[in-house]
Amino acid sequence: MKTTILGYPRIGTRRELKFATEDFWAGRIDAAALEKAGADLRGAVWTGLRDAGLDAIPSNTFSFYDHVLDTSVLVDAVPERYRGLDGLDRYFAMARGVQDIPAMEMTKWFDTNYHFIVPELGPDMRFRLPGGVTSKPVAEYLEARALGIETRPVLVGPLTYLLLAKPAADAPAGFRPLDLLDGLVEVYAELLERLAGAGTEWVQLDEPALVADRTDGEVAALARAYARLGELSSRPHLLVATYFGTIGAEALRALASSRVEAVGLDFVAGPGNLDVLASVGGLLRKTVMAGVVDGRNIWRADRQRAKAACATLLGLADQVVVSTSCSLLHVPIDLDAEDALDPAVRGRLAFARQKVGEVVALGEALGEDAAGPAAQVPASTAGIDHEVRARLDTLGGSSRGDRETRFAAQRASLGLPDLATTTIGSFPQTPEVRRVRADRRAGRISEDDYSQAMRQEIARVIALQEELGLDVLVHGEPERNDMVQYFAEQLDGYAATEHGWVQSYGSRYVRPPILHSDVARPRPMTVAWTTYAQGLTSKPVKGMLTGPVTMLAWSFVRDDQPLAETARQVALALRDEIGDLESAGIRIVQVDEPALRELLPLRAAGHAAYLDWAVGAFRLATSGVADTTQIHTHMCYSEFGEIIDAIGALDADVTSVEAARSHMELVGDLRAAGYENGIGPGVYDIHSPRVPSADEIEENLRRALQVVEPAKLWVNPDCGLKTRAYPETEAALRNLVTAARRVREDA
Ligand code: GLN
Ligand code: ZN
């Protein structure tokens, strides 16, 4: 074996998986047709990888929804509430819920934008292998073999599976899913024996949890699990794959002394892996899967550098196999499908299919010397904007005036009541609004007709907010398809793909923009819409922008300079936009940072440096305004934990956050952490169509008032309203205004 990859996109080059699953959900196709679509997709991937010349091909990377959910079904970790269902109905009920049975929780897969279904485990959990010889990994292995292709089934490793699980709602306090390790490992042992019986030569166990901070107890659990699996008399060779960062030295030592035959290390996100490997004396009797081709990002590999890394590894392992840093699940499938990309950008890119080619080419090059055909046409480089760079070099501090002075100035100039009411930005995106945008994109309507339709929508939303009695209005964001893409399309340095879909969760795929060069703002981006809205009302209209961290987190970002530097370029563009909004008479600007927490490094050691640049970029964007201009920010989560100090450091005048589900606790937490500015704890959950009563909103407000003074408490929903419909939105906002008025009267 010379070359492999850790996994491949499952969605199909033309998004076949999405269409098949959605057809099945809508009853347009039956289970057999869905199964057939799955088999076709798997077959196409395996044969494609074989034809590309890859030596070792993964299987069981396919999933109808999510591979962690597949694992739960595989080991029968099915919560009681789904036990009355079976087959695909049960599977999709766990993922999406059905009438009266809520779905399982979904959360982000490490620091990626892929979401998995969180296992729910209680102390009574008895893992089993209900499928026996027909279990999915065995079945897919045999399916590939029937096509003449030997594959390596990929499993979520037992340690990672349990570390990602959450205790079931009825589990006693103190119960940890990891307590179930021994039982789970026995089921994996049975599965490995079944796979060996089917003829499997290699199995891959994914343990990305090993690149985050791990306790001694967890490392001991790792050692115990792999000692047990290693000693099985009849089993395939084992590859334990880690990715998304640098493995802990203790964890690597545990794997080194186990009998697993191979370890996968990520040399892209985890450059420290080389040192860790050296510090444990290498893996001289094992194979190292050298993750040198980036599985997370879309840049072409630097072949000389990758080759050099592999060469260094040769002295530290028995064998070195060229591999991707992680599964290619996180990148679009095929660059050849893109016709409209600027050639200078295109020449720097590699999508999944191209990355397989890079792995194969590197495998061949390793056998040759540096002067051989390994030489590669040099890639073009990022566009440089000297003006942006010069301005960033000379920009001074990023601090605003004293916060109490600002507070007083804004209070005087804005004239807002205590418990001011507002929304987070978007209003429901009706089918008509979406259709107008689609028509404009397809050229079916003129720019004038488009702008006319958008103005009408904005006028309608402003009139509605006036009628509801909200204090700070928004234009409603009808012109935005997506909060990142909207800005990416207007900034220099960004490109869009036509078919670059990546799975976010289930049948939801995203097409992240590509930040390839220095970022600059050729012209104002939001000023026309916002000032149009402001012209319709005497109440303040909030300008609405996406913050620098979120602009990076939801894009593919150039890797030829530190993220911190790229973030400053985006921040400068936003600073100019905010300046233009201010000059045009906009008195409040909100800069959304829903992804601030998402980019937090997996290890605590990296947190301070990250938060430093993330906060710095936000402040660079927002600190150019007068004391009277009020800066808001918004985040879509309530578990602040590690970033609570950073929220304060952003120094926004008002911060709105998700708090409804945690009963406003967050307000106290923020205050306790020294946050003294305005707070808008979301008083109701917009993720459900349920209309909150005025009483319950009132109760939330009174709770918040125990820790915040009325002039600093804001009243708003917990996120944008774009996924909601109008009837429930109007009813909810009406109750919100009523509740605020009632509380204001006695405050
Ligand atoms: N302003 C955006 C909206 O209301 C914020 C979206 C978000 O927080 N994800 O849609
Ligand atoms: Zn939000």
Assigned token pair, 736 = 């919100």
Query: Read out DSSP for 22-48?
Result: HHHHTTSS-HHHHHHHHHHHHHHHHHH
Per-residue pLDDT tens over the stretch 227-249: 999 999 999 999 999 999 999 99
pLDDT at 490: 98
Query: If you ran DSSP here, which 8-state letter would residue 281 be given?
Result: T
Beta bridge partners of 635: 657
Query: Which DSSP helix (H) or strand (E) runs through 317?
Result: strand 317-324
473 is in an annotated binding site: no
Query: Which DSSP helix (H) or strand (E) runs through 324?
Result: strand 317-324
Per-residue pLDDT tens over the stretch 247-261: 999 999 999 999 999
Distance (angstroms) between ligand 2 centre and the Cα of 639 equals 13
Give CA–CA dist 706/238, Å, rounded.
Answer: 57
Instruction: Name the amino acid, one letter, at 202.
Output: W
Residues 6+ apart with CB under 8 A from 134: none
Protein residue closest via CA to atom 9 of ligand 1: 594
Residue of 588, 592, 632, 637 best suited for mutating to test ligand 1, as the one with most atoms within 8 Å of CB: 592
pLDDT at 645: 94
Asked whether residue 649 carries a pLDDT value surpassing 90, the answer given is: yes
Q: Is the CB of residue 351 less than 8 Å from the CB of residue 501?
A: no
Which ligand minimizes its atom distance to the CA of 719?
Answer: 2
Asked whether residue 136 carries a pLDDT value surpassing 90, the answer given is: yes
Distance (angstroms) between ligand 2 centre and the Cα of 140 equals 40
Residue of 590, 634, 657, 716 best suited for mutating to test ligand 1, as the one with most atoms within 8 Å of CB: 634
Distance (angstroms) between ligand 1 centre and the Cα of 515 equals 21
- Smallest Cα–Cα separation from 92: which of 112, 123, 63, 54? 63
Percentage of the chain exceeding pLDDT 90: 94
Query: 563 φ, ψ to 5°?
Result: -55, -35
Q: Is the dihedral of CA 387, 388, 394, 399 positive or negative?
A: positive
108 is in an annotated binding site: yes
Secondary structure of 198-239 in the HEC alphabet? HCCCEEEEECHHHHCCCCHHHHHHHHHHHHHHHCCCCCCEEE
Give the other-Cβ count within 10 Å of 289's Cβ. Answer: 30
Q: Which residues surround ligand 2, an ion (CB under 5 A)?
A: 594, 636, 719
Confidence grade of residue 396 (pLDDT, cut at 50, 70, 90): confident
Residue entry with tokens 């913050």: 547
Which ligand minimizes its atom distance to the CA of 593?
Answer: 1
Which ligand minimizes its atom distance to the CA of 543?
Answer: 1
Per-residue pLDDT tens over the stretch 462-479: 999 999 999 999 999 999
Using CB atoms within 10 Å of the CB of residue 238, give its burial: 0 to 12 exposed, 13 to 18 middle, 19+ buried.
buried
Average pLDDT over residues 148-158: 98
Residue of 113, 426, 477 best suited for mutating to test ligand 1, as the one with most atoms within 8 Å of CB: 426
Secondary structure of 668-698 in the HEC alphabet? HHHHHCCCCCEEEEECCCCCCCCCCCHHHHH
User: Could you give the angle at which helices 67-74 and 87-96 cross, rounded to 10 degrees?
Assistant: 130
Q: Is the CB of residue 477 less than 8 Å from the CB of residue 545?
A: no
714 is in an annotated binding site: no
- Smallest Cα–Cα separation from 323: which of 333, 332, 338, 313? 313
Vertex 164: Cα angle to 212 and 720 (nearest 5): 95
Strand ranges for 223-296 from DSSP E? 237-241, 262-266, 283-293
Distance (angstroms) between ligand 2 centre and the Cα of 647 equals 15
Give the other-Cβ count within 10 Å of 604's Cβ. Answer: 11
554 is in an annotated binding site: yes
pLDDT at 384: 97
Average pLDDT over residues 612-624: 98
Using CB atoms within 10 Å of the CB of residue 242, give its burial: 0 to 12 exposed, 13 to 18 middle, 19+ buried.
buried
Catalytic residues: 687
Give CA–CA dist 729/234, Å, rounded.
Answer: 60
Give CA–CA dist 481/437, Å, rounded.
Answer: 8
Distance (angstroms) between ligand 2 centre and the Cα of 384 equals 33
Give CA–CA dist 235/220, Å, rounded.
Answer: 23
Which ligand minimizes its atom distance to the CA of 545?
Answer: 1
User: Which whole-number Å values give the CA distances from 210 to 198, 253, 263, 577, 584, in the listed order?
Assistant: 30, 12, 12, 42, 52
Per-residue pLDDT tens over the stretch 119-131: 999 999 999 999 9
pLDDT at 378: 60
Range 28-31 contact pairs with CB under 8 angstroms and sequence separation of 24 or more: 31/87, 31/88
Asked whether residue 594 carries a pLDDT value surpassing 60, the answer given is: yes
Query: Read out DSSP for 105-131?
Result: PEEESTTSS-EEEPPEE-TT-----TT
Distance (angstroms) between ligand 1 centre and the Cα of 718 equals 9
17 is in an annotated binding site: yes
In the structure, which protein residues have their CB atom closer than 6 angstroms to any atom of ligand 1? Answer: 424-426, 477, 483, 544, 592, 594, 634, 636, 719-720, 722
Percentage of the chain exceeding pLDDT 70: 98
Q: Is the dihedral of CA 556, 558, 564, 567 positive or negative?
A: negative
Return the ligand 1 atom nearest residue 423 CA: 4
pLDDT at 320: 96
Query: 642 φ, ψ to 5°?
Result: -65, -15
Average pLDDT over residues 471-491: 97
Per-residue pLDDT tens over the stretch 50-69: 999 999 999 999 999 999 99
Q: Which residues of 514-544 are buried (b: 16+ CB within 10 A; e: fewer)?
A: bbbbbbbbeebbbbebbbbbbebeebbbbbb
Asked whether residue 370 carries a pLDDT value surpassing 60, the answer given is: no
Give CA–CA dist 602/392, Å, rounded.
Answer: 29
592 is in an annotated binding site: yes
Asked whether residue 394 carries a pLDDT value surpassing 90, the answer given is: yes
Return the ligand 1 atom nearest residue 480 CA: 10
Asked whether residue 662 carries a pLDDT value surpassing 90, the answer given is: no
Secondary structure of 509-566 in the HEC alphabet? EECCCEEEEEEECCCCCCHHHHHHHHCCCCCCEEEEEECHHHHHHCCEECCCCCHHHH
307 is in an annotated binding site: no
Protein residue closest via CA to atom 1 of ligand 1: 425
Give the other-Cβ count within 10 Å of 580's Cβ. Answer: 19
pLDDT at 371: 46
Give CA–CA dist 425/479, Å, rounded.
Answer: 12
Protein residue closest via CA to atom 3 of ligand 1: 720
pLDDT at 376: 59
Assigned token pair, 694 = 């005025």
Distance (angstroms) between ligand 1 centre and the Cα of 545 equals 9
- Smallest Cα–Cα separation from 565: which of 650, 495, 624, 493? 493
Protein residue closest via CA to atom 10 of ligand 1: 720
Return the ligand 1 atom nearest residue 719 CA: 8
